[in-house]
Structure 1
């Protein structure tokens, strides 16, 4: 028998393995998805409240994952944290005198960003919400404009006014202390001729962090954004001696998707477009993480936003499907549908339009600026028994379903990342977001 030289065999085998490794497509590991979800939803994280102690452990964990994957930090940063402060202002003392009459505490509330507000007719406007006005609409207009003002509310709106007062009298939060505008809403039954208003707040500062990693693409200023909020509601009233709302589905599941998508695309050739992977903080307390992020970005640079929320349970339509909020507002959903048409996975429009979910997650701030920013979810929220409860535990999740969903998002995103497809912008984004509240 002829002897076959060993060296060529070893060379050929090694070459074959290398060639196979180079040509093999990366995949999303069910084991990794499970590990990430279980870690983030552990009792050690204490429910990841944005203003609680467990949020720091979560931020460190996500940063370590980004580091291990090999993501880049933002320019000028030596870590993955995008740090900012939130100031919480709580009413302390107030004196509201209008037309020489003192207004009782139950008939006013303020939306103020200053430690002290002191107003006379010389330095502030007066606006009115009449009996014929739509209170909600007018409240939205006055509270979102750029002017400080006293807003006088007709007594016909008293019932709704008190609901708003109960909510807004607790506290207000702002990125910038002593900034404008400031607004004070008052029920008063006369035209205002004079007023003397002083309102004092106690102020508390809290440091927060978004976690951001990136993969530099060939087109630096064309960004595809993958995001999920990593905070939850923390420690709540105990149920059967359990007081930690672990937030396994909401939203450890979404964060696992962002991390695994980062790992997936890091193992691909350099993308055409630049990829951002973001864990937003403080979604549950007002969306402050995504709001701050949007203020640091040029929205024209963001081609698309894949915001991922609550993918740990299959929807009523089956395990191989996910729904997309705001489906009709851009071609984002249509692109995703077509990109997986050769698989058994289906993307379809949000089945809960009456709940205005498009406006209630971290995609909303960038959508308001015209970005094709949509949330992808799978949970049947109309029947889910664990939402915002201590029962949102790791053992309630379907890891295989979540992994398949992440794989479908990875597959669908390729045509956008490669610049083969570009979703249309959201026209009149601000009007869409304010008119539907």
Structure 2
């Protein structure tokens, strides 16, 4: 009787172990499937569609206050609506419309930031903003090609904003995310400055700005660089989250260009928000920067797609409230 009892116990143990192994295998398999499923949320075909649309001749160079940027604004609005984003604050539409006078010019310009919101769950009163500027230099170039298409600068960044909006809509977010396409960046950070004047900066835990993410960096493939890396621990959080992915983030190697203060992240950083810009472009040797040659065909779709995927993975713990970057340090640079 005892032998039979012991045998039954042993048999039950073996079955239990096999079941546990099967459960573990199933869990691992399902985890891999989930990872693969998430990866497909950001695909190169969607990236190419956004980029080629925003950088097309039809957009006429997207200069603030022109019919061209109006076409781009409508495209971004339609994408926000398709994705299912809500409007910001008390705005009735995705547009934050305002008037301003450019530094060079006497006539007032009417333009708009395009802002969509994805409300958070457990930390909906804490905000993360993902941004890029959708304006460029217009169609007043010299020669046969007069259109400054601004594919890299910054249709690539806006493409990232749209792709990330769709991504986080599907995977979820604990903190509220604002997706912003700013106007007037080329005229002096006009749109982001206007936006900053109307917010409570203490509620914004991070700013993720995308600028010129369409070319292979000087560090090589599967890399990007971050402006103002030393000004908060934002970059270190991203690096931690990217461990094991094969993608690396480096500090801005072009500190003499003062890039931290030359993109829209600066408008929020001046308010204390740990707001930084991701880029891939070797700006010191980029022959297409602010030239009519900045066309979609000159960009690397793989670089753009992988960078957007890396931003999604790298910022995941911030979006979901597990990490909170330290407030940005400006020191004497506040005067700049």
TM range (shorter): 0.7 to 0.9
Partner of 1:68: 82
Partner of 2:19: none
What secondary structure is seen at the aligned counterpart in 2 of 1:424? coil
CA distance in 2, matches of 1:87, 1:244: 23
What secondary structure is seen at the aligned counterpart in 2 of 1:238? coil
Q: Deviations over 1:104-135 (max 9, x none)?
A: xxxxxxxxxxxxxxxxxxxxxxxxxxxxxxxx
1:29 lines up with 2:43 in the alignment? yes
1:281 lines up with 2:183 in the alignment? yes
Q: Deviations over 1:29-54 (max 9, x none)?
A: 11010000000011010000112220
CA distance in 1, matches of 2:131, 2:169: 16
CA RMSD of aligned residues (A): 1.8
What secondary structure is seen at the aligned counterpart in 2 of 1:343? coil
* Equivalent of 1:86 in 87, 93, 100: 100
Query: Could you tell me how far 1:25 is from its partner in structure 2?
Result: 2.6
Partner of 1:49: 63
Q: Deviations over 1:405-427 (max 9, x none)?
A: 00000001110011111100013
Partner of 2:327: 425
CA distance in 2, matches of 1:388, 1:318: 23
Query: Could you tell me how far 1:76 is from its partner in structure 2?
Result: 2.8
What secondary structure is seen at the aligned counterpart in 2 of 1:364? helix
Query: Could you tell me how far 1:220 is from its partner in structure 2?
Result: 2.5
Following TM superposition, where does structure 1 have runs of at least 4 consecutive aligned residues deviating by more than 4 angstroms? 20-23
8 Å contact 2:128–2:207 — kept in the other structure?
Answer: yes
CA distance in 2, matches of 1:377, 1:367: 17
Structure 1: give runs of 5+ residues left out of the alignment: 1-16, 89-167, 172-202
Partner of 1:310: 212
What secondary structure is seen at the aligned counterpart in 1 of 2:165? helix
What secondary structure is seen at the aligned counterpart in 1 of 2:235? helix
1:267 lines up with 2:170 in the alignment? yes
Q: Which sits farther off after the overlay, 295-304 or 72-81?
A: 72-81
Distance 1:234 1:430, change over 3 A: farther
CA distance in 1, matches of 2:127, 2:328: 16
Partner of 1:94: none
CA distance in 1, matches of 2:142, 2:36: 52
Q: Deviations over 1:148-194 (max 9, x none)?
A: xxxxxxxxxxxxxxxxxxxx7x54xxxxxxxxxxxxxxxxxxxxxxx
Query: Could you tell me how far 1:21 is from its partner in structure 2?
Result: 8.2
Query: Could you tell me how far 1:22 is from its partner in structure 2?
Result: 12
CA distance in 1, matches of 2:179, 2:233: 22
More helix by share: 2
8 Å contact 1:368–1:430 — kept in the other structure?
Answer: no
In the superposition, the TM-score normalised over structure 2's length comes to 0.86
What secondary structure is seen at the aligned counterpart in 1 of 2:100? strand
Distance 1:69 1:53, change over 3 A: same
What is the total number of aligned residue pairs between the two structures?
A: 303
8 Å contact 1:359–1:433 — kept in the other structure?
Answer: no
What secondary structure is seen at the aligned counterpart in 1 of 2:101? strand
Q: What does 1:310-389 align with in structure 2 at a 5 Å threshold?
A: 310-389=212-291
8 Å contact 2:141–2:148 — kept in the other structure?
Answer: no
Partner of 1:238: 142
Query: Could you tell me how far 1:319 is from its partner in structure 2?
Result: 1.8
8 Å contact 2:64–2:109 — kept in the other structure?
Answer: no
What secondary structure is seen at the aligned counterpart in 1 of 2:129? strand
Partner of 1:105: none
8 Å contact 1:303–1:372 — kept in the other structure?
Answer: yes
8 Å contact 1:313–1:378 — kept in the other structure?
Answer: yes
